[in-house]
A and B are shown apart, each in its own frame.
Chain A
Amino acid sequence: MSRARQSYQGVALVAPTSIPYQRYSIDTAHFWIARALKGSLDAAGIAPADLDGFSAASFSLFPDTVVGLTQHLGLSPRWLDQIPMGGASGVVALRRAARAVQAGDADVVACVAGDTNHIDSFRQLLSSFSRFSQDAAYPYGFGGPNAVFGILTDHYMQTYGATREDFGRICVAQRTNALKNPGAVMTKPLSMDQYLAGRPISDPITLFDCVMPCAGSEAFLVMTVKEAEKRQLPYATVRGAIERHNAHADDPIQLRGGWTLDIDELWQMSGYSPIDMDLVQTYDDYPVISMMQIEDLGFCKKGHAGEFLCGKDMTVSGDFPHNTSGGQLSGGQAGAAGGFIGLVEAIRQVTGQAGPTQVKGAKRAVISGFGMVNYDRGVCTAATVIEGGGA
C-alpha cells in the first residue's frame, strides 16, 4: 500500500495562454512554443531570462529536445523537464511543476506544449511514433489512431450497448461550445443529423468522431500562491492530482483507464466529489474516450456514460459543462498541446477569464488526460481537480 500523498497546498496555476490553432503551419514547434511561453510570461510580467523552471511537451521538436529550447529561447532555468505523454502531458506537467515549486527547486515553472503541423507531417509522426505501433499496428492497414479507436469503439458499443447518438451528443455539444471560442478551428455548427451522416473513416468511427491535426500551443505558469498574490494574478489552486501508466494491461481491449486505480484518492484529496464540479474537461481525441473518462472519474457507473449524458446539457450554459472551449474535437488537435487544451481552459474558467466560453460562476473543475497509443490502447492517464483562488 502506498503512503498518503502530500497535498498540493500553496501552489498556484496562473497565466493560461492558448495560441489560436492553424490547420497547417509552415512554422516550427519552436515558433509555436515561443508564442505560448511569451503569452504566459507577459501576462505574469516575467522576463524570459528570469524564468527558473521550464517544462515542455512536443512531438515535432526533432532534432531538438527541451534542452535545445533553452538555448533557442534564451532561458536559463534551474529546473527543466520534458513530458513525452501526449494527451496526459498537461496534468503530468502540472504535477511535477507543483512539486518543484513546493520544494523550492524553482520559483516559477512555465509549462508549455506546442506542435506544428506541416503537410505530410502527421503521416511522418505516425510512422515513427512507437516501436509496438511500428511492429504490430501500422502494418495492418495503417489506419493510425483512427483504426485503434475504431476497434476500441466497436468493443465499447458491443459490450455496453452504446449507440452512435451517444457519441454524437458529445461532438454536437462541443461544436456548440466551439462556436463561442474565436480560436477554435471548427467554425460551422454541427447537427446530430450531420454527425450521423459523417463520412465513414474507420468503422464505427466517422468524420466527426475524429480530431483534426493542426498546429498550435498552450501554456500556463506554476508558482506559489504567495507569488501569484504578490503579482496580483488570478490563480487556481490544485486540490489533487493523479497519474497512472499501463494500467489494466491484461484487459484484451481497453474499456477503462488507469484513473480507476487512483480516483478515490483524487476525490479524497480534493475534498470534493464529482457533483461538486462546475465543469469537466476530458481528453477527447475520440468521444468514446470522453465517455470512458466520465465513467472512470466517477460521474456514473462503468458503461453508463451514454445514458448519463443523455440527460445532460454539455454546453457552456448547460448543467454539465464539458470541454467548454470545444475541446480537440472542434478546436483541433495541436499535437502535445492536446494534452493541455482542457487544463488551460479550465484555469481560465475557474479564474473567471474564459470570456465568451465562461461557465457562469465556475469555481471548480476536474480535468483528465489520456495519452500515447503505444500499440492498441492509451497508456498514460492523469487527472486533476482545480479550484479558483480565494474560493
Chain B
Amino acid sequence: MSILESVELAVKNIVSSKTRTFLTMLDIIIGVAAVIVIVGLGNGLEQYVTDSFSGLGTNTLTVTVMSRGSTRTLSVDDMYAIVDENSQYLDLCSPTVTMPGMVKIGSETVSTTSVQGVSEDYLDIAGVTVSSGRRLQYSDMANREKVCVIGAYLDQAYYGGNAVGQTLRVGGQSLTIVGVLAQQDDTLEEGGSDDCLYLPYTTASRIAGDVSSYIVTMREEDYIDESVAALESALYEVFASDDYYTVTSMAEMLETMTSMINILVGVLAGIAAISLVVGGIGIMNIMLVSVTERTREIGIRKSLGAKERYIMEQFVIEAACTSALGGVIGILLGDGLSAVASTVVTRLMEETLTVAPTLSAVALAFGISVGIGILFGYLPAKKAARLNPIDALHYD
C-alpha cells in the first residue's frame, strides 16, 4: 500500500463528510489567510518605505544644525568647507530649506507640492535630470535668482508641458520656471515624486529663514560610520557640544524603519499563527472523534491484515490532508484578501501600497498547516493503531 493510495483513501474520507471537514479546516483557513495578509502587508509597507527613501539614495547623510548663541553658528560656507576637508569620505553637499508655503499657479493654489530650497548639486544627489530648460546653477545661488525647476506633474497638469519661461508664486515670491525635471514615477500623480518644486536655497532662505539642514553624499556607501564620524567631529569643533546637531544616515534610517516594520509584522503574524495552533487542536479533536466512530472499520481492517503502521498512516495522512486542504483554501483566501487590502489601503491613504503575499510566506503557511495536521493527527492515529482488533470488531 503506497503513500499515494493512503492519500487517495484519505481524500475519499474527507470528501464523504464535507461539512465536518470544512468546519475542522476553518481555523486553519483563517490562520493561514491572516498570516499571508499580514506578511503581505508588512512587505508592502517595507517596499513603500524603501521606495520613499530611495528617492534620495541610501548613500546620503542628513545634517541638522541649530545655532548656539550668536558666536557658535554654522554658515553654509562653513558646511561646504567641512565637506571639502573630508573629501576622502564626503562628496556633494546641498543645503535643504523646506518651505511650508503653498504654490500658487495663476489663481490656483496647489497644496500637495513639496517645495525645497536646494543647491545646484541637489539634482545630482537626488539623481534627477532635467527634461527641458536648464538646471539650477551656481550663479542662481550667488545672485539669489528668483527661479525654480518643477517636477513633471506640475508641468503637465498646469502648463500642458510648456512650463519653461512661465511664472508661479511660492510664499508670496514670484519665481520664473527655468527647467522641468524628467518624470520619476511610472504615472504622474498628485503628491507623487513628480509633484515637486526646487528653488535656489539662497532665495528660499530669504522667505523661510536660515538654512538649518543639509544633505551630504558619501563617496563610498561602505564607509557610513567613518563618514558620520568625520562630520560629527567637525561639527563638534564648531559647537563644542553634541546637543546642537544631528547627523543621520539614510541607510541607517531605512534599516531602523525596516526592522521596526519587521518586528511589527512578526508579532502580528505570531498572533495570527495562534489560530493555526487552535486549528491543529480542532483537527486533533475531530480526529479523536473520528477514531471512535470508525473503531469498527479499524477492527475490520486489522482483521484483514492491516498492520498498525498502515492504520497509523491512514489517520495521520487524513489529518495532514485536511489541514493541507485548509492551508490551500487559506492561501487562496489570503491572496484574495491581499488584493482587496491593496485597493482599500491605497484608496484610504491616497498612497500606493501593494499588499504582496510572498512566495516564501505562502510556502511557509502551507508547510506549517501540513505540519500541524501531522503533529496533531499523530495522537489520534496512535490511538487508532493501538486498538485491540477483537474489541474493535465488536464495537457498536
Real complex partners, A and B? no
Interface residues of A (CB under 8 A from B): none
